[in-house]
Amino acid sequence: MSVPESGASVVEIRISARPALIPTVRAVASDLAGRADFDLDAISDLRMAVDEACTTLVGLAASHGMLSCRFVLQPEQIEVVVSTPTPAPGAEVRTDSFGWRVLQTLADEVSTVHGVDGVPDALAIRLIKHVGATK
């Protein structure tokens, strides 16, 4: 992951890659967006996008794996990178799925990333949501 620009704040949490723990990440996303003066619609969009990204990667995570979620807060946007090591080389996030379309609708930018934090088998979803942006 890249080093954040000056003035940015970073919050990173790690959880076991289990569906039961995703609400914790959702709550952190909501809280951070609220503190960044996002309007209620943008907070809801970010919360749902983070939920979808986490759900997608939990389905691809290694058994007993961890899910990392990094929030980079800048004055006009929040960047979220959700990542996990995968058990199978070449694992991919399906970009032709309904879930991917949901991500594209909720976030201002969305992409997949391979090899996060020097872990070659890690897979990540990167989201950016701008303050005041509505789709």
CATH code for the domain in which residue 38 is found? 3.30.565.10
Query: Does the global pTM surpass 0.85?
Result: yes
Is the distance from CB of 84 to CB of 114 less than 8 angstroms?
A: no
Nearest one of 71, 57, 70, 72 to 121, comparing CA atoms: 57
Quote the domain boundaries for residue 13.
9-130
Residue 1 belongs to some domain of the structure:
no
* Tens-place pLDDT, residues 92-133: 888 899 999 999 999 999 999 887 766 767 899 999 999 875
Residue 4 belongs to some domain of the structure:
no
Predicted pLDDT at 7: 77
Q: List, in sequence order, the alpha helices (H) in 18-64.
A: 22-35, 40-58
Q: What are phi and psi of 66, to 5 degrees?
A: -115, 155
